[in-house]
Structure 1
Amino acid sequence: MDTIEVERVVAVEERNWWYRERRHLVARELRRLGRPGTGLDVGAAGGGNTRVLLDRGWEAVAVDASPAGVEAARRRGVDARLGDACDLPFPDASFDFAMALDVLEHIEDDAGAARELARVVRPGGAALVTVPCDMRLWSAHDEALGHVRRYDRADLAEVLTDAGFEIGRLWSWNVLLRPVVRMRRRASTGCDLEALPGWLDRSLHAVVAAERALPVGALPGVSLVARLTRP
């Protein structure tokens, strides 16, 4: 992620519906894990998701390949390191939990990045991975963000299991808004990340938040989420 894109993310993520709900998703997964431990956020950009770990008592580190991302995270009080997702600057089995949220789609060697993520998680530890799904949704938005691919379930499952993870659950996210996203992306000419009027942001957040209680995870969505363990 380049400097301009990092600055764009930092500027909107606190008040943007998509980022807020993704932070809720992370918090929910952390509650499942119980007692806090050591955590790693790979591809952390400005550290917005890392702070979810910190706010819940985790000893967390952020890693990003962008100096701008590292600096932005440090300004927010996050322990951030410059590093490559395919060559993480940590020993084997360093963390109880690691996450790579919308990271693998940016990396040519996504298999190598997945192996590195598994390498730094201790046996018995956990991980969380999110990616955009379905190449039918490919658009100028993906190109502007530097995406290499969008995933289907089988491809993502193969990358993660080959890396050494066991998949506890693999589900779709942002399902209810997929028709809206698909129409939007057909007309997209670049990155769709922007601040929205308050009423629209609240409305979109209410729709995606409804998925917390609805059994829609097996339906086509805009993203895939994988809950993982390290044997």
Structure 2
Amino acid sequence: MDRKIYEQMAKLDADHWWFAARRRILAELIERVARPPDDARILELGCGTGHNLAMLGRFGTVDASELDDTARAIASERLGKPVMAAALPDVSMFAAGSYDLVALLDVLEHVPDDAASLKSIIGLLKPGGSLLLTVPINPWMWSAHDVAHHHHRRYRQREIETLARAAGFTIDLISPFNTLLYPPIAAVRLLGKLTGKESSDDAMPGAGVNRLLDTIFGLEKDLIGRVPMPFGVSLVAVLRRPLA
């Protein structure tokens, strides 16, 4: 991503509604669906500025990778140890079969070879270990936001299912999310297409709006995996390496 995107991310990620509510949702899914063991070994690939590292650290010992130099420096400071540089599908700097949980959070869409990346990630997991994956969905929503963030694609759910099974994963959970806010977000994206908007949409909203959006998005924490989510802006999956 552009350097200015990382700098903006580091300023906003503690309080911006999307980051804050998403962390609560992901923590709930780790606890309820992935269920790593106590003191799990955890790896986040493509951790950006490290805004998920503290949340992941609640479940065990965390290692991380990030390709961008600026983001990696910020993440290393947050993690309290060096974050490695890794360009998927190359994960050779990490020991095979050593992690209980790998997090790949809005990263796969940045990678040219997504199939090879998932195949390399399954090799990092212990038998029975899980991959927590999020990606943007709905190719029709492609916008200036995707361009600014250097996305290669937006996915369809069936594409992730096919990629996951081809890599050898079983699927514990796969669901759209950011569902409750889908109508206004979709409307904004459609309006941007009609008006030729060329800027990203990462700015912090006003405090009241930010709290409202945080509350609405955060309601999905107890819904995903329990209530069918028919559509959404993103997709979340918990994929597991089989025991045998």
Same-fold call, TM > 0.5? yes
Point out the more displaced range, 70-79 or 37-46. Answer: 70-79
Distance in 2 of aligned mates of 1:62 and 1:115: 18
Point out the more displaced range, 103-112 or 21-30. Answer: 21-30
Are the equivalent residues in 1 in contact too, given 2:66–2:72 (CA < 8 A)? yes
Are the equivalent residues in 1 in contact too, given 2:182–2:233 (CA < 8 A)? yes
User: Which residue identity does 1:74 align to in structure 2?
Assistant: S
Quote the residue 1:140 is aligned against. Answer: 144
RMSD, matched Cα: 1.5
Quote the residue 2:199 is aligned against. Answer: 190
SS at match of 2:43: strand
**What's the CA shift for 1:84?**
1.1
Are the equivalent residues in 1 in contact too, given 2:25–2:218 (CA < 8 A)? no
Are the equivalent residues in 2 in contact too, given 1:47–1:78 (CA < 8 A)? no
Q: Which has the higher contact order (CA 8 A, sep 6+)?
A: 2
Are the equivalent residues in 2 in contact too, given 1:85–1:113 (CA < 8 A)? yes
**What's the CA shift for 1:112?**
1.4
Pairing 1:225–2:236 present: yes
Quote the residue 1:44 is aligned against. Answer: 47
**What's the CA shift for 1:213?**
3.8
Are the equivalent residues in 2 in contact too, given 1:37–1:59 (CA < 8 A)? yes
Instruction: After TM superposition, list the pairs within 5 Å mapping 1:43-62 onto structure 2.
Output: 43-54=46-57, 56-62=58-64
User: Which residue identity does 1:29 align to in structure 2?
Assistant: L
**What's the CA shift for 1:160?**
1.4
Q: Determine which of 62, 65, 74 is the counterpart of 1:63.
A: 65
Distance in 1 of aligned mates of 2:72 and 2:205: 26
**What's the CA shift for 1:190?**
2.0
Instruction: After TM superposition, list the pairs within 5 Å mapping 1:83-94 onto structure 2.
Output: 83-88=86-91, 89-94=93-98
SS at match of 1:151: coil
**What's the CA shift for 1:4?**
2.1
Between the aligned residues of both structures, percent identity stands at 31
Instruction: After TM superposition, list the pairs within 5 Å mapping 1:4-83 onto structure 2.
Output: 4-32=4-32, 33=35, 34-54=37-57, 56-79=58-81, 80-83=83-86
For structure 1, the 5+ residue unaligned runs are none
Distance in 1 of aligned mates of 2:101 and 2:113: 22
Instruction: After TM superposition, list the pairs within 5 Å mapping 1:101-180 onto structure 2.
Output: 101-180=105-184
**What's the CA shift for 1:27?**
1.4
Query: 1:38-77 CA deviation, whole Å, 9 max, x = no partner?
Result: 00001101111122122x1511011011111110111213
Distance in 2 of aligned mates of 1:98 and 1:141: 26
Distance in 2 of aligned mates of 1:155 and 1:196: 33
SS at match of 2:23: helix
Normalized against structure 2, the TM-score is what?
A: 0.89
Pairing 1:206–2:215 present: yes
Point out the more displaced range, 142-151 or 71-80. Answer: 71-80
Distance in 1 of aligned mates of 2:88 and 2:10: 20
Are the equivalent residues in 2 in contact too, given 1:171–1:224 (CA < 8 A)? yes
- Aligned pair in 2 of structure 1 residues 150, 217: CA closer, same or farther (>3 Å)? farther
Are the equivalent residues in 1 in contact too, given 2:2–2:149 (CA < 8 A)? no
**What's the CA shift for 1:98?**
0.2
SS at match of 1:172: strand
**How many residue pairs align between the two structures?**
230
